[in-house]
Structure 1
Amino acid sequence: MTFYSFAKSVASSIFKPWYRIEAIGMDQVPKEGGVLICANHIHNFDPIVVGITAPRPVHFMAKEELFRVPVLSGIVRKCHAFPVKRGMSDREALRQGIKVLKEGHVLGLFPEGTRSKTGELGKGLAGAGFFALRTDCTVVPCAIIGPYKSLRKLKVIYGKPLPMNELRSAKASAEEVTELIMAEIHKLIKEYR
């Protein structure tokens, strides 16, 4: 058993009963090839919740501050996270994200870039569109619908993969693609809230 599988089973045994997590549409995540899961961001536990409900191991960008904490740094790396500098264009993190997708893995992303203070969906940053356009990955929108309260149901919905080929052919901008992704996340939130 890998460390990731071990961590996932431990986290699942704690989080799933505590937040009564209901995962919907996990079959929308392709079984192979590069996949970009784009989710709304309402809580610090969102990466864990996506990680335990996604059917494949998920790589995440995590704020670089986490990698400065000695023990935590090792754990976060073993859980397939890599550092990103917030508030600036981090070329190394972008390169690493593209590498993850091109190698046929799953990259989890929160396009808003930071947690929503209100719980409402914020504006997405161009990074999501950048990854979608620079690789031939499948883009899967994901909605996390709270609240994060003990024994209250938390839903994680994986939507239908978005048709990226037309957008790539039409030379759409990263901003346009991100807007489309955010619109799909918004639809999932409205449908399942």
Structure 2
Amino acid sequence: MNLYKIGKAICTIIFYPLYRIKVVGKENIPKEGPVIICSNHISNIDPPVVGITNQRNLYFLAKEELFKNKVIGGILKRVQAFPIKRGMRDRNALRKGLDILKQNHALGLFPEGSRQKSGDIGKGLAGAGFFALRSNAAIVPCAIIGPYRKFKPLKVVYGEPLDMQSYRDEKASAQVVTDYIMEEIRQLHKIHSKEG
């Protein structure tokens, strides 16, 4: 058993009861083929929570600074995370992400780039749109509805895959596509927040 599977098992045992996680729409995630799961970002715990609430083994982008610590960086690499430089176009990270999708794997993205501690959904960065346009991956929006409080319900909602074909045909800009993805996440969050 690799470290990713071990970590996923441990996080499942801890986080499901601790945050009373409820998952909605897991069936919307394709079981095979390239997938990009795009989620809002409210906590450092988001990556493992997205990781344990779906059946795919995800690769995540993580800020480069985390990899400077040899111990943390070593762990991150073994749980399928890879570094990206913030605030600039990181060609190596973009190439790595596309390679992962070409191999029919699943990529987990937090388009906002940084946590929105208020719980509001911020503007996404163009990277999500880049991956959506340059790959044939299914794009699945995900809304994490918090906040994270011990023994208080946390909801993770997966929407239906988004139709990207018209954007690909029109050669839309990466930012336009990211804005579309973020609006879908925003709508998921709005609808399911009301449902409680």
TM over 0.5: yes
Q: Distance in 1 between matches of 2:41 and 2:73?
A: 22
Q: Secondary structure of the equivalent of 1:162? A: coil
Match of 2:102 in 1: 102
1:144-155 superposed matches below 5 A: 144-155=144-155
Match of 1:33 in 2: 33
Bigger drift between 5-14 and 167-176 goes to: 167-176
* Runs of 4+ off more than 4 Å: none
Bigger drift between 87-96 and 138-147 goes to: 87-96
TM-score by length of structure 2 reads 0.96
Cα RMSD over matched residues? Answer: 0.9
Match of 1:77 in 2: 77
Deviation per CA, 1:138-186: give whole Å up to 9, x if none.
0000000001000000100000000011221122211111111011001
1:70: how far off? 2.0
Q: Secondary structure of the equivalent of 2:31? A: coil
Q: Which amino acid aligns with 1:7?
A: G
Q: Distance in 2 between matches of 1:174 and 1:66?
A: 26
TM-score by length of structure 1 reads 0.97
Match of 2:45 in 1: 45
Q: Distance in 2 between matches of 1:116 and 1:147?
A: 11
Deviation per CA, 1:34-61: give whole Å up to 9, x if none.
1010000001111111011121101000
Match of 1:117 in 2: 117
Counterpart check, 1:192 vs 2:192? yes
Q: Secondary structure of the equivalent of 1:60? A: strand
Q: Distance in 2 between matches of 1:31 and 1:151?
A: 30
Counterpart check, 1:174 vs 2:183? no
Q: Distance in 2 between matches of 1:86 and 1:126?
A: 12
Q: Distance in 1 between matches of 2:118 and 2:5?
A: 33
Unaligned residue ranges in structure 1 (runs of 5+): none
Count of aligned pairs: 193
Q: Which amino acid aligns with 2:105?
A: H
